[in-house]
Amino acid sequence: MKSFNIGSRQFAVIAAVVVVAAVILLASYWRLQAPDYSQRAELSGMVSPAVQTAQFVCAADDDKVIEVTVGLKLKNVDELKKLLADLGDPASSQFRRYLRPDEFTSRFCPTQEEYDQVIAYLKSCSLIIVEMPSNRRLITLRGTIAQIKKAFDVHMNIYYRQGVQRLCNAENPTIPACLSGIVESIMGLNGFARFQSLFKNYYRPWTVSDDDKPSGFSPAQIATAYDFPNSNNKKLGTVYSGKHVTIAIASAENYDMADVQAFWRQFGIDRSGATIEKICVGNENKKLNVETTLDLQQISSQASCANILMYLASDSEDSSFARVFNRIVCDNRADIISYSWGLSEDQSDPASMKNFQTIYMQASAQGIPVFCASGDDGAYDSRDKKKKELLVVDYPSSDPYVVAVGGTHLSLDDAGKRTGEQAWTGSGGGISSVWDRPAWQRTAALPAGDKRVTADVALFADPWLGYAMYFQGKWQALAGGTSFAAPNWAAFWALTEEACGGRVGSVCATVYRSCAVPADRERLFLDITKGDNGADRLPGYKAGPGWDYPTGWGVPNGRALVDWLKSDIEKKR
C-alpha cells in the first residue's frame, strides 16, 4: 500500500480551507436563523390629530436625545374580557376572584421569548434600554432623534399649535414585520399627548386668601354633606378610616410635605400609624405641582389611616404616565388608584389610548379601581382650528375600565347642612368617539347608543365655592375642579374597602347594578336633576332624573352605599 505524507505547508492550506468553509457554513446558518428586519409593518393610529391643525416649524434636531416607550400587545384578549366581565358578575363563579400580577402576566402578557425579540431589535438599532417592567408590557428606551428615525422609519418635526411648540411624528412609525404581532404602540413620539391637571381656579395667577385663612369647603363639610362614614362627619354612626387599605395617587412632579402637614393641622387630621411613600417613576422632578399636592391633601384627610403611595412621573407626557400606571399594577401594593389628569380624546392617538387601556384592564383583573376626573371644560373638551365648539370627552375618564367622576355645585347652610346641588357647568361628560359601550351601561336607564358615555358618578367641584387648599406656604382661594371630586371618591372607596374587608373592584359594574333598582338608587345616591355642563359657553348636556352626562348617577349617600356594599358582599360569601 502506498502511503501519503502531508507536509506542514500542505496541512496549513488544508486547515485554512476547512476554517473558511466552516465560517461560510456558520454565516449561512446565521442568516437563516437571524430575524429579517428588512420587511416593515406600519403601526396605524399613531399620528396625533393635533398635527392636522398645527403649523410645521422645522425638522427636529437629529442629535436631540429623547425617551420613548414601546407598548406590547396582550394575548388572549377575548378570554381577558370575559374574565373581567365575570369578576363583576355576582352570578359568575369568578366574581371578585382577582388575579395576582404573575397570574395576569402568564395568561395575558407577551412571552419572555417575544419580549426578548423586541429588545434584540431595539439594541440592534443602538438604542439604550431604560426600563423593562416585570409584566413584559412596556419597554422604555433612550436614543437620539436620528436613531429613533432609523429604528422606526419616522420623521420627527417641531409643530406650533395653540401657543406652544411640540416635537411630534409626521407619520405612523413602522417596525419589522416579524414584530408586528407583538408591538402595539410607541409612546413618546406624540409631543401633543400631554395630560393636563383637571384642576380649576378662576383667577390666574394664583390668588391667596386675603387673611391667609382657609376659604372653600373643609374635609368635615364634604364628609358631612355626603355622609362619609369617617371621623370628619359630624353625624353619629360607625366610623371608618381606610385602615389596612392602600391608595395610589398617580401624578407628576412633586409636593412639599410641609404644605400637607399645615393642611392637617388646620383641620385636625390625625394620620397616626399611616404612611406616605414617594415612588418616582423615572427621574425625580423637584418642581412642586398643585395637582399632586391637592390630591394628597384630600385623600389623606378623608381616609386618615389609609397608606398612600405617591407614584410620580417626571413630566405629564402620556408615555410617562403609562410607565406610572404600569408600575402600579406590577407592584400590586395599591388597592385603589386616584388620577386627576386628562387629555381630550381628539388630542390622543388611538394606539396609545389602546395601550393605556391594556394597563387599566390589568388593574381591573387585580381588583384595583381607577377613579379619574371627568374634565373641567364641560361637554366641549376641545376645539378645532376654526375655534368651533366640539362635543368631546376627556380621556382617560372615557375608558370603560375607569370610573369617571363628574362635578357639581353644592349649597350648604350655615350649619353645614346640604340644601341643594346641581351639575357644575365645567363637569366633563358626554359620548366617547373611541370606546364601545360596556355591558354594564347597556341599560334602558341610559340614553340609547353604542358608545361609552360619561360621567359615572359625581361630587362637589365648582371652584366658585371651592375647596380649602394649602400650597407653597399659603392658603389658596377659589380652588376646584373635578381634580377634587376624583380623590374624594377614591378616599370614600377606601372607607368602603375597609368596611368590606378587602378589595371591591369592578366599581362601575357594582354602581350600575346598585342603581338598577329604583328604590336602591334613591337610597344610595343623591340624584342631581338641575344644571348642565355647557362650560358657560353653550347649553351642553342637561342634568335630569336618574343617570345624566354631567353627574352620572349622582353623588354618594355615603353610609347607605357602604352598608349596601357590605351586605352585597356578605350575600356572595
In the structure, what pLDDT confidence band is assigned to residue 58 with cuts at 50, 70 and 90? very high
What local confidence, expressed as pLDDT, does residue 382 receive? 73
Supply 91's cell numbers: 352570578
What local confidence, expressed as pLDDT, does residue 568 receive? 86
Average pLDDT over residues 327-347: 95
What local confidence, expressed as pLDDT, does residue 32 receive? 47
Work out the mean pLDDT of the chain and round it to a whole number. Answer: 91
Looking at the predicted structure, is the pLDDT value of residue 567 above 70? yes
Main-chain dihedrals φ then ψ at residue 293, nearest 5 degrees: -70, -50
What local confidence, expressed as pLDDT, does residue 208 receive? 65
**Other C-beta atoms lying within 10 Å of the C-beta of residue 384:** 13
Average pLDDT over residues 252-259: 98
What local confidence, expressed as pLDDT, does residue 485 receive? 98
> Of 1-5, 127-131, 153-157, 493-497, where does mean pLDDT reach its minimum?
1-5
User: Global pTM?
Assistant: 0.92
Looking at the predicted structure, is the pLDDT value of residue 235 above 80? yes
CA-angle at 455, arms to 451 and 459, nearest 5°: 175
Q: What is the DSSP string of 445-461?
A: TS-S-SEEEE-SEEEE-
Average pLDDT over residues 47-61: 90
Residue-wise burial string across 60-95, b where 16 or more C-beta atoms lie within 10 A, e elsewhere: beeeeebbbbbbbbbeeeeebeebbbbbbbeeeeee
Q: Which residue has the cell 349596601?
A: 564
DSSP label at residue 484: H
Three-class SS state of 421: strand
Cα 317 to Cα 27, 256, 304: the distances in Å are: 44, 22, 31
What local confidence, expressed as pLDDT, does residue 35 receive? 86
Is residue 436 within 8 A of residue 386, CB to CB? The reply is: no
Strand 174-176, strand 394-395: pairing:
unpaired
In the structure, what pLDDT confidence band is assigned to residue 385 with cuts at 50, 70 and 90? very low
Average pLDDT over residues 77-101: 95
402 Cβ contact list (under 8 Å, min separation 6) = 339, 360, 370, 371, 372, 396
Tell me how far apart the alpha carbons of residues 440 and 400 are, in angstroms, rounded to a whole number: 10
Domains annotated on the chain, with CATH: 41-74+109-187 (no CATH), 196-572 (3.40.50.200)
Radius of gyration over every alpha carbon of the chain, rounded to an integer in angstroms: 27
What local confidence, expressed as pLDDT, does residue 18 receive? 64
In the structure, what pLDDT confidence band is assigned to residue 203 with cuts at 50, 70 and 90? low
Cα 344 to Cα 134, 281, 432, 561: the distances in Å are: 30, 24, 10, 31
> Of 137-151, 199-213, 493-507, where does mean pLDDT reach its minimum?
199-213
Is residue 48 within 8 A of residue 168, CB to CB? The reply is: yes
Hey, which bits of 73-202 come out as E strands?
Answer: 128-131, 138-144, 156-161, 164-169, 174-176, 183-187, 196-197
Strand 457-460, strand 403-412: pairing:
parallel
